[in-house]
């Protein structure tokens, strides 16, 4: 398994890109590890915004970014036609879509433990008579006779249903589970397309349930609704549909009988999964697929990957073109559609502490040459907090600070002082939540290295001839002794010519390139890059300049 260096996204949140070989085929994995769910790191399902009920994962995260720093993946399977999800949607203890009868779902317990299984649904309503069953929550009532409950989660109006009877209830603002919800009948309608009131619900009855609803829920009557998911009676906060369950008790799960076809299991596709380690930490994983660079995985292979990564429990989510993994609006994988697909839901860990993004350049070189002269440091606060921001010099002394109470916002500081000392600088951000008193901290580092500067080419476009080649002058300023490597890169990024390698003293340095490769041949037309790299006790710094080469036919 080949891996890139692990990168820090937020406190305790890291990202890895790994290349594995499955059945002899390459597969690229994108892995995000996070702290366990808690008040500071809340795992929550997110619904798409807008009337189309579909939105890309990065768009969802950007919409949420002012209230949290979100990281995660796409969510449940959904209808392309309507955007409605196929399984459970439970948020803050309010049930918006009942569990799918045959497919599993994921729920988050109050202790941060993930529960993955098929869950039952029990719904009841009662008017002036006895209790009666509710069969659906925000799904069309297909079978007869049945009763469905619709909230604004479904849309502005109920679905069309010929001969259906509908009762509009005011006074039920949240469909909390395991709670008696009482509303007042304000209207009785027929046939569907009934407006769903804000702060209310609509009961829709079909078949022989119609006369019962009409008789026992007249206008002005009180109607009590109770919704329950028995397996989740311990009080999980949030839940989302998905499947199949991949891992349970650190072992792969037999995937038949979970409501998916064998073709769905056995064929390589892009895949999305979420898992939990024994210590409570979470794994978000996406496997790229449908390309020669990454062939995707079967669900069985995905389960083995999750076990290899340490998951004691794991579940799949929607895959294929829907598979997307992102952090605060930045997508890491290569969606098979070419762009992130608009999906119905996402599953994100919301981080509520102070956040500092990675600096825009890892090396700052404020020497006035227009390259790496300026860096913008930033911190984001999503809750009213007492903040402490510090920029620390390589010797640990404070170069700049800011303290005080701030409302949720971005805080930025530009640095570009040519007198900044060479070495490793630290950007340290801390915040104390004004309400909870919770303290959070994050640190980013960058290096100041003014060893190299003012790389200049004698021309931006160079003509070369098949026998004579060309002529390009290259100069650079060196402020301290360093080992230099000067090369010319081709359009594919490979080295076409090495011009110099060795130690040099401070001063102006110059070289010439005659338009030839290392083997002596004259290059063809294209854009080439001159790269100068300097290494010394301060670190490594590189400068690049492009030149357009035009090969003429004259000899």
C-alpha–C-alpha distance, residues 290 and 333, integer Å? 13
pLDDT exceeds cutoff 90 at 277: yes
447 close to 364: Cβ distance less than 8 angstroms: yes
Closest CA to 272 of 239, 333, 342, 319: 319
pLDDT at 144: 86
Whether 452-551 and 122-228 are alike in CATH topology: the answer is: no
Closest CA to 490 of 465, 471, 511, 518: 518
Q: Which pLDDT band holds residue 259 (cuts at 50, 70, 90)?
A: confident
C-alpha–C-alpha distance, residues 390 and 324, integer Å? 35
Whole-prediction pTM:
0.91
CATH number of the domain at 363-448, please?
Answer: 2.60.40.2550
Which position has the higher pLDDT, 418 or 42? 42
What CATH topology corresponds to 122-228?
A: Jelly Rolls (2.60.120)
Strand 122-126 relative to strand 131-134, pairing: antiparallel
Buried b (16+ CB within 10 A) or exposed e, 508-545: ebeeebbbbeeeeebbeeeebebbbbbebebbbbebeb
Question: What percentage of residues in the chain have a pLDDT greater than 70?
Answer: 98
C-alpha–C-alpha distance, residues 139 and 154, integer Å? 8
Question: What percentage of residues in the chain have a pLDDT greater than 90?
Answer: 88
pLDDT exceeds cutoff 90 at 114: yes
C-alpha–C-alpha distance, residues 513 and 464, integer Å? 11
DSSP notation for 122-168: EEEEESSS-EEEE-EESS---SSSEEEEE-TTT-SBPPP-TT-EEEE
Q: Which range has the worst mean pLDDT, 12-21, 206-215, 232-241, 476-485? A: 232-241
Residues composing the chain: 555
CATH ID of 452-551, from 2.120.10.80, 3.90.79.10, 2.60.40.2550, 3.40.50.2000: 2.60.40.2550
* SS3 of residue 306 by DSSP: helix
pLDDT at 473: 97
- Indicate the domain borders of the chain: 2-115+237-351, 122-228, 363-448, 452-551
User: Residue 213: CB partners within 8 Å, gap ≥ 6?
Assistant: 127, 132, 147, 165, 167, 203, 205
Query: CB under 8 Å, gap of 24 or more: what pairs does 524-528 form?
Result: 524/549, 524/551, 525/549, 525/550, 525/551, 526/490, 526/491, 527/491, 528/488, 528/489, 528/490, 528/491, 528/496
pLDDT exceeds cutoff 50 at 1: no
């Amino acid at each position: 398994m080949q891996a890139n260096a692990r990168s820090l996204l937020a406190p305790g949140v890291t990202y890895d890109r790994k290349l594995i070989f499955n059945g002899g085929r390459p597969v690229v994995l994108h892995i995000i590890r996070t702290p366990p769910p808690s008040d500071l790191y809340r795992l929550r399902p997110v619904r798409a915004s807008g009337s189309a009920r579909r939105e890309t994962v990065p768009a969802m995260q950007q919409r949420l970014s002012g209230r949290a720093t979100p990281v995660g993946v796409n969510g449940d399977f959904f209808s392309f036609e309507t955007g409605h999800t196929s399984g459970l949607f439970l948020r803050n203890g309010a049930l918006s879509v009942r569990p799918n009868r045959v497919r599993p779902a994921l729920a988050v317990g109050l202790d941060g433990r993930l529960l993955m299984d098929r869950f039952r649904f029990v719904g009841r309503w009662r008017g002036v008579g006895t209790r009666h069953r509710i069969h659906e929550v925000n799904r069309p009532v297909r079978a007869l006779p049945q009763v469905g409950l619709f909230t604004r989660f479904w849309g502005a109006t109920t679905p069309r249903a010929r001969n259906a009877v509908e009762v509009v209830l005011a006074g039920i603002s949240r469909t909390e589970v395991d709670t008696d919800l009482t509303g007042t009948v304000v209207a009785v309608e027929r046939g569907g397309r009934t407006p769903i009131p804000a702060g209310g619900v609509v009961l829709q009855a079909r078949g022989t349930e119609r006369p019962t609803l009409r008789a026992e829920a007249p206008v002005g009557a009180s109607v009590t609704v109770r919704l329950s998911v028995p397996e989740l009676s311990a009080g999980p906060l949030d839940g989302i549909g998905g499947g199949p369950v991949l891992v349970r008790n650190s072992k792969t799960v037999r995937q038949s009988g979970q409501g998916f076809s064998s073709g769905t299991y056995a064929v390589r596709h892009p895949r999305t999964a979420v898992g939990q380690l024994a210590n409570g930490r979470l794994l978000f994983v996406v496997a790229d697929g449908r390309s020669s660079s990454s062939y995707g995985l079967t669900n069985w292979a995905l389960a083995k990957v999750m076990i290899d990564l340490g998951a004691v429990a794991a579940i799949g989510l929607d895959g294929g073109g829907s598979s997307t993994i992102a952090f605060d609006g930045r997508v890491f994988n290569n969606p098979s559609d070419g762009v992130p697909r608009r999906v119905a839901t996402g599953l994100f860990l919301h981080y509520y502490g102070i956040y500092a993004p990675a600096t825009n350049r890892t090396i700052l070189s404020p020497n006035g040459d227009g390259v790496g002269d300026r860096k913008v440091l930033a911190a984001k606060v999503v809750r009213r907090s007492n903040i402490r921001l510090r920029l620390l010099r390589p010797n640990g002394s404070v170069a700049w600070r800011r303290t005080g109470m701030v409302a949720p916002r971005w805080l930025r500081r530009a640095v570009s002082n040519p007198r900044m000392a060479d070495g490793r600088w630290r950007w340290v951000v801390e915040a104390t939540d004004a309400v909870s008193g919770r303290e959070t901290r994050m640190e980013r580092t960058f290096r100041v290295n003014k060893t190299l500067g003012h790389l200049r080419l004698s021309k931006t476009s160079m003509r070369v001839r098949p026998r004579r080649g060309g002529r390009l002058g290259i100069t650079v300023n060196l402020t301290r002794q360093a080992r230099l490597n000067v090369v010319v890169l081709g359009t594919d990024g490979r080295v076409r010519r090495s011009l110099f390698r060795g130690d040099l003293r401070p001063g102006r340095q110059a070289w010439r390139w005659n338009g030839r490769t290392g083997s002596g041949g004259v290059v063809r037309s294209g854009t080439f890059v001159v790269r100068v790299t300097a290494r010394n006790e301060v670190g490594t710094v590189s400068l690049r300049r492009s030149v357009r080469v035009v090969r003429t036919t004259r000899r």
